[in-house]
Structure 1
Amino acid sequence: MLSLAARLAVPAAALLFLLAAPAWATNFTCASPGTTCRSAIGYAVPNATTYAGLAARFNATTTLAELLGANGLPANTSPSAPVAANATVRVPFRCRCGSDGVARSDGGPVYVVQPQDGLDHIARDIFGAFVTFQEIATANDIKDVNVIYPGQKLRIPLPCTCDPVDGATVMHFAYSVAKGEETSGIAARFGVNERTLLTLNKIADPKDLKQGQILDVPLPVCHSSISNTSADYNLLVPNGSYALTAGDCMRCSCSANNYEQLDCSAVHRSGCPAVPSCDGGLKLGQTTNGTGCETKICAYSGYSNTTSSLSIHTALVTANQTACDQKGGAARTEFAGSMWRMSVISFHMVLILICFL
């Protein structure tokens, strides 16, 4: 058993500084306990490794296939493909909102303590300060933060949440601020509104941004036709990435022709069931001959998995539901405006008639 000071080999004054360091990596809050969703962090690789090595580091939370998909890499990318030191890799994982109103990575990753390790070293140097040593201690019921043992298994609670932002479904992406970065540049880089970014992270003054600060970046995601009865109902896919679902038998990404539409295709491998056609005999991805909001597409709508078989489902849906919803909203607004103008005109006509009489 080694003390934290001995394992880190730092003087007492420096140790006190570490213990007093600001908790920038505090877990994100959530409003719906029990909710699960996909989330991710932007992990700066401390030392050169491989994609297989990264998948192993974030075990129990992500697979190699999910890691490749989150970074838009071909599915046949070699597990031994190199990842350079300091490269930032998007690491996806399953997020769960707890009953305490705090969201954390669901189930892991699990880190095995090595000789000379300390909680602060694990938090900062191995997991990029996305968690604090206090959070690791709490997640593992460690009473004395100075005492951990080689071989001990620690669950690492990565920050996340499943809450909508401004009424929209998003993927929450934990991002570590680099030196010299500004909120305007970060917002532009990820396609989010700067004011939303500031409000979500409770930043009153953009100038207060600090290197290493962990931001909650709400990434826009594709519109999904997945049924709320499907196990992957909360499948969130940002632009530039893809996700495997339905037992890795379906590959879903943002449509190249319509960013807001989730485009799913079958993965042809042993053990995957056939994908059924939609009404009218349309196959997955095919559209009807309608125009505008009358155009329908045969879309992936989820799956069901029993002990005996996996079934994939499809449904005929509006090809561009979001645009059609916006069009419908605009039409309703125009209709309301027309009714208001007619009311005003009628009122004026009544006044004129009264004056005439």
Structure 2
Amino acid sequence: MPSLFARLAVPAAATLLLFFAAPTSAANFTCTTPGATCQSAIGYAVPNATTYGELVARFNTTTTLPELLGANNLPADTSPSAPIAAKATVRIPFRCRCGSNNVGQSADGPIYVVQPQDGLYAISHNVFDDFVTYPEVAAANNITDPNRIDVGQKLTIPLPCTCDQVGGATVMHFAYSVAKGDDTSGIAAKFGVNADTLLSLNKITDPKSLKQGQILDVPLPVCYSSISETSPDHNLLVPNGTYALTAQDCIKCSCSANNYQQLNCTPVQDRRCPAPQTCDGGLKLGSPTNGTGCDSKICAYSGYSNTTSLSIHTALVPANQTQCQKGGAARSEVAGSMWRMSVISFHTVLILICFL
């Protein structure tokens, strides 16, 4: 039987480090709806030169190659062996689950297998870029003594995330590691978010207090979706500049303008995929009507079902739903203001008649 110390993955030097190393700045993202699931992502700086296939293996159970390519807006036929330079930042997508403790974490992984000379601090810092702290890894795996882990032991890595709306809007929460020279206004501009929202969401009172390696919750705007609540992909979130494959990889959805745009979904040319249903009038998926402005409609992707065979559904919707809804609200507000002005004018006339 091997000795106890032969079984331990963490060496003596790393053991001392665990006693003295302060937790990193990985954030527990607050989730207010326990049990909710959604899509999320982190901006991962690869420690050494690698490939997309190796990244998929590293973040196993949470990320597939098509999801990784879509999150980084790479061609769908990109080879798994395509190289990634050391220190390059790659967006890693994964499923998020809100826990009963109001903390969001990656669902079901990734799973890391402990290697010789590993320690929890080295795993969280060197392998997963400080998006988790070693106490968080220990807690997720019911490890009471973080200095005692075994070679070959499988560890669940709880990546930070949340599914909450921000300001009443649905967003994709992106965990961002602050780089040297970053400031909040620059980060906000880079990702197209409001700087004040970024500060408030991360409870930052002093914009100059950012530290390199600090993990921020960046709420990425997503395109408006017409996917039915009954579809398995009803909570599909696609930020600007990315795409996602859905309906068993038979539909490609992208967001190329801003969060007011209707999600653009097109069929994937694959003979195993069925043709999407047509909208009223025989319109094909993605085809617009002849209307203009808010009267313009488009045949949009509305989800899929797979009871006996895959069926891809469509619906005829306003081409720019959110903008038109906002416009309608604005018109109502203007109309209300005009009505109030009319009432005021009427009362003013009555007062003048009384004086006369």
Measured against the shorter chain, the TM-score band is over 0.9
1:156-208 deviation per Cα after TM superposition (whole angstroms, max 9, x unaligned): 01000010111111100000001121111101100111100000000000111
Corresponding position of 2:20: 17
Q: Aligned to 1:317, what secondary structure does the other structure show?
A: strand
Partner of 2:229: 228
Asked if 2 retains the 8 angstrom alpha-carbon contact of 1:242 and 1:251, the reply is yes
Query: Which amino acid letter does the alignment assign opposite residue 139 of structure 1?
Result: A
- Give the structure-2-normalised TM-score: 0.95
Partner letter of residue 19 of structure 2? Answer: L
CA–CA separation in structure 1 for the residues paired with 2:70 and 2:185: 27
| Residue 260 of structure 1: aligned partner | 261
Secondary structure of the 1:218 match is: strand
Q: Is contact 2:171–2:222 with CA below 8 Å preserved after alignment? A: yes
8 Å Cα contact 1:4-1:118 kept in structure 2 = no
Per-residue CA deviations over 1:124-154 (Å, capped at 9, x if unaligned) read: 1100100011111111111111111111111
Name the residue aligned to 1:276: 277
Q: 1:258 to 1:284 in 2, by over 3 A?
A: farther
Matched letter for residue 317 of structure 2: V
TM-score in terms of structure 1 length: 0.95
Runs of 4+ in 1 over 4 A off after TM superposition: 1-6, 255-259
In structure 2, the residue matched to 1:344 is 344
- Residue 274 of structure 1: how far off its partner (Å): 1.8
Q: Which residue of 1 aligns with 2:312?
A: 312
CA distance in 2, matches of 1:113, 1:15: 16
Corresponding residue number in structure 2 for 1:7: 11
**Deviations along 1:272-327, whole A, 9 cap, x unmatched?**
22211001100000011111111110000011122x32211100000011111111
* AA aligned opposite 2:235: N
SS of the residue corresponding to residue 337 of structure 2 reads helix
Q: Distance in 1 between matches of 2:119 and 2:351?
A: 83
Tell me how far 1:11 sits from its aligned partner: 7.7
After superposition, what is the alpha-carbon deviation per residue over 1:27-62, rounded to whole angstroms, capped at 9, x for unaligned? 211111111111000000001000000011000001
SS in 1 for 2:168: coil
Contact conserved, 2:299 with 2:316, CA < 8 A, in 1? yes
Deviation by residue 1:94-122 (Cα, 9 ceiling, x = unmatched): 11111221111111100111011111111
Contact 2:9 2:114 (C-alpha < 8 Å) held by counterparts: no
Q: Which residue of 2 aligns with 1:55?
A: 56
Aligned identity (percent) is 66
Q: Give the Cα–Cα distance (whole angstroms) in 2 for the partners of residues 222 and 172 of structure 1.
A: 14
Q: CA RMSD in A?
A: 1.7
Shift of 1:271: 2.8
Alpha carbons of structure 1 residues 287 and 314: separation in structure 2 relative to 1, 3 Å = same
SS at match of 1:159: coil
1:268, CA displacement in angstroms?
2.1
The yes-or-no answer on 1:133 pairing with 2:137 is: no
**Mapped partners of 1:240, 1:16: distance in 2:** 43
Say yes or no: does 1:289 pair with 2:293. no
1:332 aligned residue: 332
Task: Report the Cα distance in structure 1 between the residues aligned to 2:262 and 2:348, rounded to whole angstroms.
Answer: 47
The CA distance in 2 between the partners of 1:151 and 1:258, in whole Å, is 45
Whether the 8 Å CA contact 2:251–2:266 is kept in 1: the answer is yes
Counterpart of 1:39 in 2: which secondary structure? strand
**Structure 2: which 5+ residue stretches go unaligned?**
none
AA aligned to 1:81 is: A
Contact 1:5 1:15 survives alignment (8 Å): no
1: CA distance, partners of 2:313 / 2:289: 18
Contact 2:34-2:99 at 8 Å conserved across structures: yes
Aligned equivalent of 1:190:
191
Quote how far apart the aligned CAs of 1:262 are.
0.5
Q: Is the 8 A contact 1:4 1:119 kept in 2?
A: no
Alpha-carbon distance between aligned partners in 2 of 1:152 and 1:17, rounded to the nearest angstrom: 24
**Unpaired segments ≥5 residues, structure 1:** none
More divergent stretch after superposition (271-280 vs 1-10)? 1-10
Q: Residue 173 in 1 paired to residue 174 in 2?
A: yes
Structure 1 equivalent of residue 160 of structure 2:
159
- For 1:126, give the aligned amino acid: V
